[in-house]
Amino acid sequence: MKIVQAKKEKGSEWSFKTGKQTLKQPLVLVFGNRFLLEEENCYDEVLELFPDGHIVFGSTSGEILNENVFENSVVLTAIEFEKSNFLIRSKNLADFDGDDELLGQRLIAEFPTENLKHVFVISEGSSVNGSTLITGLEMEKNIDIGLSGGLCGDDARFERTLCSYNSSPKEGEIIAIGLYGESLEITSANFGGWTVFGPLRTTTKSVENVLYELDGKPALDLYKQYLGDKAKDLPKSALFYPLNVDSHDGSEPLVRTILSIDEKENSMTLAGNVPEGSSVQLMMSTVDDIADGAREAAKLAVALRKKETELALLVSCIGRKLVMDQRTEDEVEEVIDVIGEQAAVTGFYSYGEMAPFAGKGKCKLHNQTMTLTLLSE
């Protein structure tokens, strides 16, 4: 596996972190600030660097490159697989009339299953229902094939997210990268580090990822009561106080953050589903707890491996970044301390993370977690 990494800020040239070298038909992962990805020459610049590259873009709420977390930049990681190969497919939400599950089914069906080890998904994050998308992907996927990824971000603006494959970044895209090869070892895991507090409430009215009522009362009104003066900053302020959702179906509880609010309907749209009858409780965290959670995620992913990690794809939540503030890099450093400095690290801060719980087959949508996908040939 040969890897080239670079970073660019507005108005500057690409700065190569590993030395510029020629790669053969590389997978090129480009994560960056939404405004920079909207610039007309963004795609052409990367194509000029890697004329035969397979280029995947994703907008972020912060860019991860090795031990650093950047803002208002674009980071690039180009990978030449020496013993393996990959296949990339994409779909757009606009072509499926909002049916995220069908999109997931159609997308995963385009991947031949022989020697397919893992599918890494980079999805638009503004309007997709991540839970439903995963349901569609899992419906047609062989259980032995891994699935992980994340929903693109837009800092804390929640305006629009962009991604694309071999074209200029655009809205509504879902990109899936299928990784093939007998020698490939890919493991993934996630962990949060958040603690529940306050009364336990029951979801009495919801439709998929739209939450209307808790204990028979308007959900948004109740949430605003907890936030107090911070309610005026919704949905950004909600990232500090996500919801723990227990569906009582035998699965582990999932964390959900709020993507948008509807004052007229008195409702909240979350990144993933909140089933009726589920129990909901507020959560909070500290800088140290989040850093410890990242370390735990890394330990879980490494424990599943036999080989040293060559490439680590990190997807962490915008809510974690807001809590960490000046110490955001602490959680990335904790990950590197566990996986080893030999690994190239890249990734982004997201509106949702996709991964199975460690050691389990089915992928889930998470919020407020550090999610790792570790690769080696």
Only one residue has tokens 């569609």, namely 136
Edge-to-edge strand list for the sheet holding 370-376: 68-70, 63-65, 344-350, 311-317, 370-376, 185-191
Cβ–Cβ under 8 Å, residues 63 and 69:
yes
CA distance 215 to 97: 32
| Of the candidate ranges 11-25, 45-59, 151-165, 261-275, the one whose mean pLDDT is the lowest | 11-25
Q: What percent of the chain has pLDDT over 70?
A: 99
The pLDDT mean for the chain works out to 94
pLDDT at residue number 182: 92
Separation CA 98–CA 269 (nearest Å): 15
Give the residue extent of every domain in the chain: 2-191+288-376, 195-284
CA atoms of 153 and 151, how far apart (whole Å):
7
Residue 245 scores a pLDDT above 90:
yes
Please compute the mean of the pLDDT values over residues 267-284 and round it to a whole number.
92
Distance from C-alpha of 344 to C-alpha of 342, rounded to nearest angstrom: 7
Q: Average pLDDT of 189-197?
A: 94
pLDDT tens-digit series, residues 250-261: 888 999 988 889
Predicted local distance difference test score (pLDDT) of residue 257? 87
Q: Evaluate if residue 357 carries a pLDDT over 90.
A: no
Q: What is the largest CA-CA distance in the chain?
A: 61
Res. 142: pLDDT tops 80? no
Res 34 pLDDT > 90: yes
Are 122 and 56 in contact by the 8 Å Cβ rule? The answer is yes
Query: What is the rounded distance in angstroms from the CA atom of residue 92 to the CA atom of residue 111?
Result: 17
Residue corresponding to tokens 């959670």: 293
Classify residue 48 by burial, with Cβ atoms within 10 Å: 0-12, 13-18, 19+: exposed
Q: Which of 351, 322, 317, 319 is nearest to 125 (CA)?
A: 351
- Sign of the Cα torsion 133, 137, 139, 140 reads positive
Predicted confidence at residue 346, as pLDDT, reads 98
CA–CA separation, 199 and 221 (whole Å): 15
pLDDT of residue 100: 95
pLDDT for residue 272: 86
How do residues 47-96 score in pLDDT, each as one tens digit?
Answer: 999 999 999 999 999 999 999 999 999 999 999 999 999 999 999 999 99
Which two three-digit tokens encode residue 55?
Answer: 């280029």
- Tokens of residue 316, six digits: 């962490």
**What's the pLDDT score for residue 73?**
97
Q: How far apart are CA 251 and CA 267, in angstroms?
A: 26
CB atoms within 10 A of CB 250: 5
Mean of pLDDT values over 237-253: 89
Indicate if the pLDDT at residue 213 is higher than 90.
yes
| The predicted structure's pLDDT at residue 227 | 87
Rounded to 5°, angle at Cα 326 from 320 and 331: 50
DSSP character for 136?
A: H
Give per-residue pLDDT as tens, 144-159.
899 999 999 999 898 9
